[in-house]
Structure 1
Amino acid sequence: MLRDCVDHLSALDPQPDIVVATGDLTYLGSPEEYAYLRELLAPLECSVFLIPGNHDGRGALREAFADQGYFPEPSGGDRDFLNYTVEDYPLRLIALDTVVPGKPGGWLDETQIAWLDECLGESPSRPTMILMHHPPYVSGIAHMDAMMCGNSDALGAVVARHPQVERIICGHLHRPVHLRWHGTVVCTAPSPGFQVVLNLGKESPAEWIREPPACCLHLWRPETGLVTHISYIGDYGGPQPFPWT
């Protein structure tokens, strides 16, 4: 599945400037899985930035990709977060580590909220994208909403104070979802593997479905801002010309 996604991205014209993977990079978070992940990502010619999800192992991920230079050094704390910023592009990136080891849901504690507020305050005029695995909103898919990102009200209060936040991008839901949230737009990406069943009932069961794999393509232009497309992975026939062209 991931190999197909990498092939899909490698065939894009123009090529992306960067690729961001918003967590659940492995199933068990083992060193062997991260070694295989590196092998799968190797064909990409652009920079790749990763954040952990609830299926990842924070320490093993940090060690496997330490040479990339964007993960912080271990601090020895109880939750040794993989928060970081990327300053090299017109759109600034701020990565938030929402993982709670051993739990499917996420959380942002007050030290992370304060760190984000400080980072945003340092560059108030720079358009910024925040990356996180767990969505901070209620999607309506009950079994997924039970494991969203906790302390989201505190996150929203910070985001609302900083209008340069163009987008928050997330994973976890395995569905494309967009909404207005605290003065910005939150975009949850579909999965390059399987999707979660879209069931908006009050007691939706945990089910998956083989809907088409896909990824988000984010196009930044100063004159238009950030435009997000859904790009489907696979061969669906075509392209075919319209008959009137």
Structure 2
Amino acid sequence: MAIVLRIFLSIMKINTTYLRRTTSLLAFLFLSALVFTNGCALPKIIILNDPLSAEEHAELGRIYESQGKEDLALLQYRAAVRKDPRQAQAWLLLGDLAYRRGDYGEAETAYKKALNLQPENGDIGNNLAWTFLMQNKRTSKAEKLVREAMTFTPGHKPYYLDTLGVVLLRLGKVRESIAALKESVTTLPEDKSGFLAEAYGHLAEAYKAAGEAVLADEAATTAKKYAILR
């Protein structure tokens, strides 16, 4: 045990600038391995100082998420924003994962933090609008966010138009909703089958709300076609 701790301490004492960040990550993982190794008579180790930077926590979260380990990824993203609350990307990653897991409250909080740091990031504004839609609240605010997103990030307008169409439908502006969704499905890239499936599905809902059953059925059929191509 003494040898193990001496090895660890020697790692921590390396001061070379080039190796410092890599060393801190290895040291942290080394300690974690000690804590969770079964069958060894090791004392409990409490890490008083987190050796990882916010960026390293976020990167570790991405790795976990790519492996399907969402619980671990979530812990790392939370650690990242605790370490440095000014990390907009970490807040965005946290918001995206929380949204996919159906935790719209945490997603909303994370997106708000990210948007405060990057107020002209259209993607963040669009995502925040979706958290409002999923929680059935602040629909007018959602409309404002999406319209601003189209101004800030015009290259993503086809995607934002889908969001706007849903917002307008919730607000009872059915004809405006149909117009936005029609523009969305005609401008979305053909290879974005997942987005097209969703947009056509929303268009079907808007047509149905307008009492146009035939057009609603046509849009629903097209949505199913793109859904198969996902």
TM-score, length-normalised on structure 1? 0.28
Which protein is richer in strand relative to its size? 1
Which protein is richer in helix relative to its size? 2
Structure number with higher relative contact order (C-alpha < 8 Å, ≥ 6 residues apart): 1
TM-score, length-normalised on structure 2? 0.29
